């Protein structure tokens, strides 16, 4: 088996839409502005953090000057108040240490909180954006990859949001300040130190590039691991029923190994980067000691100045260390930000038009007028120039061979997908001119593959109307013939049903899904063969619930078992050419065409 098949599938990236709706073709500029925009709600905290970083740098630079004053001026003085001056300078140094500590505490705590709040905002924004993307986007994606973008990637960004500006400010001030002090003490010795800096810069840039590639791979591959785990655990019952645990272990081991390879490259780059910078700083310190000692012998430098010089070199090394830390954070954070923006820049395929209307008093007339649809460019049309008119309150069944487009056709009504040509009308109004929330609020869908959320029975029914009272929930359950089995559960309506309702039978789950549609009370109903996977007893109970639900509502039923739609007011038979035939069950049987052949074939199975 080729386990590379399980890597992330590509998606079509669309231009980033700015706040004014205009296209931003300069992605780097747009992304830079987007990155900086997350600071805006916390600008007061940001400037307070920067002020504290400035004070930390100033205090750091003043301490060596205090040492120089004591060693050079106070100790060499014949002043009788010498001890008082030393005590005074010691008090100043203690005050500097106190201020340095307080400001560092503020930077460490409040700065981290600022980064965490910005991380929260990013997660909110990406999650909200996920809600806007159409089915065509999710058809191409893996849930594990989407989860990684909203969790792991944003954490790296929180560290960058906090430490990035702080490290830049402290490093710049310390570097400029320390080098200025070095120049005032001894220009020649300062230039020797300066000669190391270009070499260190070239070295750092070289390994930065290697780290960037490796960190990007690590982010991508941890996403692949999450996708693999999510896929396996979601289908764990299938895995166990086919005893394919070994296959899943191999798939996981493949992704896990790829991640290890990317981490190996990342650690190698980080090791050479940091250890190289440490070696350079040690060489710099050694050079200062050697050439400083020579200068003392030649009387061009005294011991107090050499001590101060070494202290300032130590301060000069700190910006280099911070630069290394910033580089790591920047590479990790920007790799995460690039992945974050890749999905945020995917413009929703389906959006409200500027003039979109809110529906009122929906009757339920549904019209397909010369509709053509295909899933992607380069794919064939599922159907072309299809037209059908469904009257308000009419019960219409859609039948045809598997893959002919029955579910796809029904998915166009709530605009889960957008038609390529033609139009879909609701009460004579093009659905593209209706607000999405208003359109979908008036359509109820009962699917064959029922999805129930982790939580209680009442929570899942109330999903049809989130502000429904307990009485409304129970009334909906009674209409769906679900009340009796719910009351037989350990905690009744408060029973926890487990992930995806694993503690319930297929028929029970189906009746809960019908109950939440009852609670929603929409004028248009779509059934995607809601009974095909049920046993005879469950099917009878569910069908009775469905008959109640369809009363006085426009109903579209996707039928696989033709015996379930014999009572439909109209049966529409789909074929490759479009609508092959339509009529009542008796009319189509008498016609002896496609429907009659399909029905008789199922009857003889």
3-class DSSP state of 255? helix
Give the distance, in angstroms, between the CA of residue 420 and the centroid of all CA atoms in the same chain.
29
Identify the top-confidence range among 7-11, 65-69, 478-482, 582-586. Answer: 582-586
Distances (CA, A) of 278 to 127, 287, 419, 481, 600: 42, 14, 62, 74, 82
pLDDT score of 19: 38
Q: Tell me the pLDDT tens digit for each residue of 166-187.
A: 778 887 888 888 888 888 888 8
pLDDT score of 413: 93
Residue 74 pLDDT level (bands cut at 50, 70, 90): low
Structure tokens that stand for 80 in this block = 């009788």
What is the rounded CA–CA span in Å between residue 211 and residue 273? 9
Structure tokens that stand for 55 in this block = 């004070």
- For the chain, give the mean pLDDT: 81
Residue 11: pLDDT over 60: no
Identify the top-confidence range among 231-235, 350-354, 526-530, 587-591. Answer: 587-591
pLDDT score of 422: 93
Residue 58: pLDDT over 90: no
Give the 3-state secondary structure percentages of the chain, helix then strand then coil, rounded to 5.
65, 10, 25
What is the rounded CA–CA span in Å between residue 295 and residue 312? 17
Residue 16: pLDDT over 60: no
Residue 5 pLDDT level (bands cut at 50, 70, 90): very low
Residue 8 pLDDT level (bands cut at 50, 70, 90): very low
pLDDT score of 76: 62
Average pLDDT over residues 57-79: 75
Q: Tell me the pLDDT tens digit for each residue of 289-345.
A: 888 888 888 777 777 778 887 887 777 777 777 776 777 777 778 877 888 888 888
Domains of the chain from N-terminus onward: 26-344 (1.20.1560.10)
pLDDT score of 573: 92
Distances (CA, A) of 14 to 8, 154, 334: 18, 22, 20
Distances (CA, A) of 277 to 167, 168, 291, 460, 521: 17, 17, 21, 58, 68
Q: Tell me the pLDDT tens digit for each residue of 187-203.
A: 888 888 888 878 877 88
- pLDDT above 90 covers a percentage of the chain that reads 18
More confident: 301 or 74: 301
pLDDT score of 17: 39
- pLDDT above 70 covers a percentage of the chain that reads 90
What is the rounded CA–CA span in Å between residue 243 and residue 249? 12
Residue 102 pLDDT level (bands cut at 50, 70, 90): very high
């Amino acid at each position: 088996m080729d386990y590379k098949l399980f890597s992330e599938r590509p998606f079509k990236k669309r231009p980033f839409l700015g706040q004014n709706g205009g296209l931003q073709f300069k992605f780097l500029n747009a992304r830079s502005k987007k990155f900086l925009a997350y600071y805006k709600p916390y600008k007061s905290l940001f400037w307070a953090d920067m002020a504290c970083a400035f004070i930390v740098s100033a205090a750091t630079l003043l301490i060596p000057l205090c040492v120089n004053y004591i060693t050079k001026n106070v100790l060499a003085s014949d002043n009788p108040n010498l001890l008082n001056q030393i005590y005074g300078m010691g008090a100043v140094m203690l005050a500097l240490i106190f201020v340095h500590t307080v400001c560092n505490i503020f930077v460490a705590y409040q700065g981290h909180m600022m980064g965490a709040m910005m991380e929260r905002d990013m997660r909110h924004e990406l999650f909200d954006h996920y809600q806007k993307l159409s089915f065509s986007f999710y058809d191409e994606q893996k849930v594990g990859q989407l989860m990684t973008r909203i969790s792991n990637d944003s954490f790296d960004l929180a560290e960058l949001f906090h430490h990035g500006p702080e490290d830049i400010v402290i490093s710049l001030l310390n570097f400029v300040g320390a080098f200025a002090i070095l120049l005032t003490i001894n220009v020649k010795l300062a230039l020797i130190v300066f000669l190391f800096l270009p070499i260190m810069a070239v070295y750092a840039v070289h390994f930065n590039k290697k780290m960037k590639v490796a960190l990007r791979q690590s982010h991508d591959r941890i996403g692949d691991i999450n996708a693999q785990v999510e896929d396996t655990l979601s289908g764990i019952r299938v895995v166990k029923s086919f005893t394919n645990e070994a296959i899943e272990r191999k798939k996981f081991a493949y992704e896990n190994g790829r991640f290890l390879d990317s981490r190996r490259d990342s650690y190698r780059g980080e090791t050479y980067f940091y250890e190289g910078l440490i070696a350079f700083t040690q060489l710099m310190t050694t050079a200062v000691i050697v050439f400083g000692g020579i200068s003392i012998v030649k009387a061009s430098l005294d011991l107090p100045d050499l001590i101060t010089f070494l202290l300032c070199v130590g301060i000069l090394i700190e910006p280099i260390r911070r630069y290394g830390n910033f580089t790591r954070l920047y590479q990790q954070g920007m790799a995460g930000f690039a992945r974050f923006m890749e999905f945020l820049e995917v413009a929703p395929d389906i959006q409200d038009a500027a003039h979109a209307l809110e529906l009122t008093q929906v009757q339920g007339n549904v019209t397909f007028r010369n509709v053509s649809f295909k899933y992607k460019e380069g794919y064939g049309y599922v159907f072309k120039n299809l037209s059908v008119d469904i009257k308000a309150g009419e019960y219409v069944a859609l039948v045809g061979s598997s893959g002919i487009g029955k579910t796809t056709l029904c998915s166009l009504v709530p605009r889960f997908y957008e038609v390529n040509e033609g139009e879909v009308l609701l009460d004579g109004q093009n659905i593209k001119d209706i607000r999405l929330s208003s359109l979908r609020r008036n359509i109820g869908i009962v699917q064959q593959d029922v999805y129930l959320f982790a939580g209680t029975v009442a929570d899942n029914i109330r999903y049809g109307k989130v502000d429904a009272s307990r009485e409304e929930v129970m009334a909906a359950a009674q209409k769906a013939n679900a009340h009796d089995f719910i009351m037989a559960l350990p905690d009744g309506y408060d029973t926890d049903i487990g992930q995806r309702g694993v503690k319930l039978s297929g028929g029970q789950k189906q009746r809960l899904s019908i109950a939440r549609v009852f609670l929603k009370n929409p004028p248009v109903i779509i059934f995607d063969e809601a009974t095909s996977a049920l046993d005879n007893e469950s099917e009878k109970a569910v069908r009775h619930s469905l008959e109640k639900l369809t009363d006085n509502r426009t109903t579209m039923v996707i039928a696989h078992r033709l015996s379930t739609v014999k009572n439909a007011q109209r049966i529409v038979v789909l074929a490759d050419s479009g609508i092959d035939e339509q009529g009542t069950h008796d009319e189509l049987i008498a016609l002896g065409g496609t429907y009659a052949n399909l029905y008789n074939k199922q009857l003889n199975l």
